[in-house]
Chains A and B, each alone.
Chain A
């Protein structure tokens, strides 16, 4: 700032200026020709640790090391600032590193050639310790931000499980390279119970442990995975105490005044100091055994996930603004990572389920294909086997006749015997093969008899409505279950129903009843038709007997065979009033 053309201040102005200069908290000195200190600010007195009267008149050369370039500034026409780094020597204590800006100016100096000469020099002194501290702070911020960045990348990229993510979050909050809290507690929202519940925690339980761990971790590299590894090695076993604490933490989410809930609802980290008394704080202090702590919400766009509580219970260190700021920042990152991991886990679960379903389907398809191939092979072998059977019967049959007719001493007797034996062998092979190929008879299934009856009767609803039949169901088998081939039993019931429908006039009545009996279930189909004529009563189940012009006469015969094959009995009777009843009884399994 050139001063050459500035008009000289008046003496009043000077008085004010000097007073202002004196009271300046920044360290300022005015040096006159020869290096004598001509004016000093409060800031400079403080820095030199001397009262003003002692500073005045001192030579700057006595207090700055190495000497300041005063000579370069004074007695010059131009006005040029000089900057340098020096150490200042206070009256007490260590030398202080400072940066000095020397700005020359002229009060009364005049050069021989005319114009003004600089005869004074203003020294702006800045304590580089403070600046270095700020630089350090800035560097720490950067380091932490970079760690946060690294952590969030790791949390997103590594497909960690939810537990791993939670663990990583807490490690970063407590690690020396991280947020440097002593202990951290993580609580998650339990939607079902509408509470915030303590999930996991890390941190030492006492000073000794803390010392050991911090020592262990001091030389760890600043990356998440080595931090997690060292966590596994040195912290995990000391977590019992904090994890016992965290398990006790439960906060109802409808307690809106509670410091944790409030922090979550406002999306704001809160620092609780010993003088603060907010709802919920007392409980947390009791859990933690410590007055000062910080809480931070775990929030995502989709809602509240939980909260973090962090404290310095072991070291008793103050929780700074910076700490809180980082906790908040980090909590935001963590919340996204936690949600991400949850979504990922859910996706993975579904993917596995889908993959399993797909594999199963593929397996079924292969089985089907194999079965189809086998079935074609089976059918072919069955045809071949059958075709071989007739010639074998002829060969073996006549060989037997030969054996019978020949004298046992005749060598041909022996040969014919061999033929019969070999044919028998072949027949056995064919028999076994056909038995094997023959499709298995449909397996018997456990069936609720009332359901089977209802299902069968339902198929005839259309016919019954057309014929305006009054259908009465009286099912009282009490949920009895019989082992049967449902298709066959349905066939019997259908036969009964069709017979009844055929003999009934329009508006007739059909009653279907089931009843539990000793060791069995009875199913009965009764009608109010003409009944069974006496002369046909004992031929009803005989094959090819029919009273219908178009009947095969096999219906009831088949029914009888079916019921017999189920170990049951079939019967028919006339009712006392009018009509016929057809019924069958199926045995119940012995254990029921």
Chain B
């Protein structure tokens, strides 16, 4: 069972994503900020990280950069309310970019796709 780390500073959204991803059959863990998220990447070794971009303190893009510097194998999905971040070159480094929606289907499907891609790449 793949472990998904959800980093988002909105508790309700964390709960929503946890519920939905668990329902889809993933193991989940959450962090409420980027620093905590990086800690969990080190300690819990998730298979995939979902990063909110705009968070208090370190933002999702910087967190992504740090994660990739340590372990390029961990896929990162940027999940944000700001569709305009798509124009930021740095976001191009992410494995996927999902605009937040009350319909979580896109996020769940993206997680699935990215994990499959990783599995084929490493396998």
On A, residues with C-beta under 8 Å from B are 386, 389-401, 420, 423-424, 427, 431, 434-435, 438, 441, 542-545, 552-554, 557-558, 561-562
- Interface stretch of the complex, out of B31-39, B83-91, B112-120: B83-91
Task: Report whether A394 and B10 are in contact in the complex, using a CB–CB cutoff of 8 Å.
Answer: yes
Task: Report whether A393 and B81 are in contact in the complex, using a CB–CB cutoff of 8 Å.
Answer: yes
Give 15 A-B pairs besides A393-B81, A397-B102, A544-B93 with Cβ atoms closer than 8 angstroms.
A386-B81, A386-B82, A392-B102, A393-B101, A394-B10, A394-B102, A397-B20, A397-B104, A423-B102, A424-B102, A434-B84, A543-B68, A544-B69, A544-B72, A553-B69
Task: Report whether A394 and B13 are in contact in the complex, using a CB–CB cutoff of 8 Å.
Answer: yes
Task: Report whether A557 and B103 are in contact in the complex, using a CB–CB cutoff of 8 Å.
Answer: no
Contact residues of B between 5 and 23, Cβ < 8 Å to A: 10, 12-13, 16, 19-20
When distances are taken between beta carbons in the complex, the residues of chain B under 8 Å from A562 are 89
Task: Report whether A390 and B102 are in contact in the complex, using a CB–CB cutoff of 8 Å.
Answer: no
Contact of A561 among B13, B68, B69, B89 (CB under 8 A): B89
When distances are taken between beta carbons in the complex, the residues of chain B under 8 Å from A390 are 10, 13, 81, 100
Task: Report whether A544 and B102 are in contact in the complex, using a CB–CB cutoff of 8 Å.
Answer: no
B65 sits at the interface (CB 8 A)? yes
Task: Report whether A427 and B102 are in contact in the complex, using a CB–CB cutoff of 8 Å.
Answer: yes
Q: How far is the CA of A441 from the CA of B92 in the complex (A)?
A: 16
Q: How far is the CA of A438 from the CA of B88 in the complex (A)?
A: 13
On B, residues with C-beta under 8 Å from A are 10, 12-13, 16, 19-20, 65, 68-69, 72, 81-84, 87, 89-90, 92-93, 99-104
Task: Report whether B100 and A393 are in contact in the complex, using a CB–CB cutoff of 8 Å.
Answer: yes
Q: How far is the CA of A423 from the CA of B90 in the complex (A)?
A: 31
Q: Which 10 A-B pairs have the closest CB atoms?
A: A396-B102, A543-B93, A389-B81, A394-B12, A397-B16, A558-B89, A544-B68, A561-B92, A397-B102, A423-B102
Task: Report whether A420 and B102 are in contact in the complex, using a CB–CB cutoff of 8 Å.
Answer: yes
Contact A398:B16 (CB < 8 A) given known A393-B100, A544-B65 = yes
Contact A554:B89 (CB < 8 A) given known A390-B10, A394-B12, A394-B16 = yes
Q: How far is the CA of A395 from the CA of B68 in the complex (A)?
A: 33
User: Smallest Cβ distance from A256 to chain B, in angstroms?
Assistant: 76
When distances are taken between beta carbons in the complex, the residues of chain A under 8 Å from B99 are 431
Contact of A393 among B13, B65, B69 (CB under 8 A): B13
When distances are taken between beta carbons in the complex, the residues of chain A under 8 Å from B72 are 542, 544-545
When distances are taken between beta carbons in the complex, the residues of chain B under 8 Å from A389 are 81, 100
* A387 (CB) vs chain B CBs: closest residue: B81
16 CB < 8 A contacts A-B: A386-B81, A390-B10, A391-B12, A392-B102, A394-B10, A395-B102, A397-B16, A397-B103, A400-B102, A401-B19, A424-B103, A431-B99, A434-B84, A542-B72, A554-B90, A561-B92
Q: How far is the CA of A562 from the CA of B20 in the complex (A)?
A: 35
When distances are taken between beta carbons in the complex, the residues of chain B under 8 Å from A391 are 12
Residue among A399, A420, A438 with the highest chain B CB neighbour number at 10 A: A438
* A555 (CB) vs chain B CBs: closest residue: B89
Q: How far is the CA of A431 from the CA of B102 in the complex (A)?
A: 12
